Amino acid sequence: MLDDHVDILRLEKITKTFHIKPVFGPAKTVEALRNVNLSLKPGKALALVGESGSGKSTVGRMIVQHYEATSGRILFEGSDIADIADRASQMKYRQAVQMVFQDPFSSLNPAHTIRHHLQRALRLHQPDHSGDADVCRILDEVGLDPKTTPDKYPHELSGGQRQRVNFARALAVNARLIVADEPTSMLDVSIRKSVLALMQRLKAERGLSILYITHDIATAEYLAEDTAVMFRGQVVEQGPTSDVVGAPKHSYTQLLRAAVPDPRQRLLAGDSGFSSHAKDVREASAHLVTGMIEQAPGHFTAQQ
């Protein structure tokens, strides 16, 4: 059992630079991540919040080893993932850390039934797995009908049901950390909350750790004990969600918070100073962060 005091996931000074060579025009570089430090405790959720292009998905993809870091370290249960050498350890890591994507269809093969998807995942974790009992148990655990779902094909399920299958697959390989990249943003508003509730339940009952990537800062409050706010590849504020979302101290987080549909806080476009204020905040927040200030225990903001 992992010691509660050891972070299940830790990013230390992570940078990621993409070098792009377009067919036409000059080559360019994009500094997608600049000196990112994050940590996630076992059995907890960390919300990674920010607007499009802030670097959230790049963080997620680096954790699941789609991309390598340009510099810095990613520690999983205390060990640097860059040091995973042999194939067996690599397989183990790739099972322990599962990604759930925005598009619930993208990772399901339309030619196979849900039973096939889950049995395949179960066999990865337990090579001698045979029966249907585990398929049914896992479907039940994610709130899908264990009688009717196994024989269905992905297209016969709703978006929300497909996303539940993706979580079921992560359970089948016994994942300990789920990187959920905008898992509800392609779903109907009416069912978003139920998928968030599923994640909340998996965390509470299974002890799963969740990195919850979202542009919707309001949903962080529902799921995540801690929240980190990103802008232009840097973390500008992080700490307990109650502080970061409830009483943000960095002007960019305040801006993000003001855009949330909350009649008490909304800053409306058209209000005097709205767009110039937003522009000023964004420009100021894009500067290289040189240090973090502790506003309250565990609550940090970038120096401005």
Ligand X SMILES: Nc1ncnc2c1ncn2[C@@H]1O[C@H](COP(=O)(O)OP(=O)(O)OP(=O)(O)O)[C@@H](O)[C@H]1O
- Asked if residue 28 binds ligand X (CB under 6 A), the reply is no
CB of 214 to ligand X, least distance (A): 9
> Does 58 help bind ligand X (rule: CB under 6 A)?
yes
* Interacting span for ligand X (CB under 6 A) from 5-13, 53-61, 90-98, 142-150: 53-61
Q: Is 106 in the site for ligand X (CB under 6 A)?
A: no
Confirm or reject binding of residue 262 to ligand X (CB under 6 A).
Answer: no
Q: Rule CB under 6 A: is residue 56 a binding residue for ligand X?
A: yes
Q: Are 177 and 211 in contact (CB under 8 A)?
A: yes
Among positions 181-200, residues that touch ligand X (CB under 6 A) are none
Judged by CB under 6 A, the number of residues near ligand X is 13
Q: How far is the CB of 151 from ligand X (least distance, A)?
A: 34
- Give phi and psi for 201, each to the nearest 5: -70, -40
* Residue 245 to residues 123, 221, 222, 254, Cα–Cα distance (Å): 41, 7, 11, 8
Q: From the CB of 6, what's the least distance to ligand X, in Å? A: 27
Q: Token pair for residue 188?
A: 């109907």
Residue with tokens 């999983």: 76
Q: Are 171 and 141 in contact (CB under 8 A)?
A: yes
Does residue number 276 form part of the binding site for ligand X (CB under 6 A)?
Answer: no
CA angle 220, 257, 103 (to 5 degrees): 50
Contacting residue, 42, 50, 154, 183, with ligand X by CB under 6 A: 50
Shortest CB 22 distance to ligand X, Å: 10
Q: For residue 57, state whether it binds ligand X (rule: CB under 6 A).
A: yes
User: Which one of 9, 11, 14, 32 is in contact with ligand X (CB under 6 A)?
Assistant: 32
Q: Is 53 in the site for ligand X (CB under 6 A)?
A: yes
Angstrom distance (rounded) from CA 55 to CA 67: 13
| 29 belongs to the binding site for ligand X (CB under 6 A) | no
Binding interface with ligand X (CB under 6 A): 18, 20, 30, 32, 50, 52-58, 215
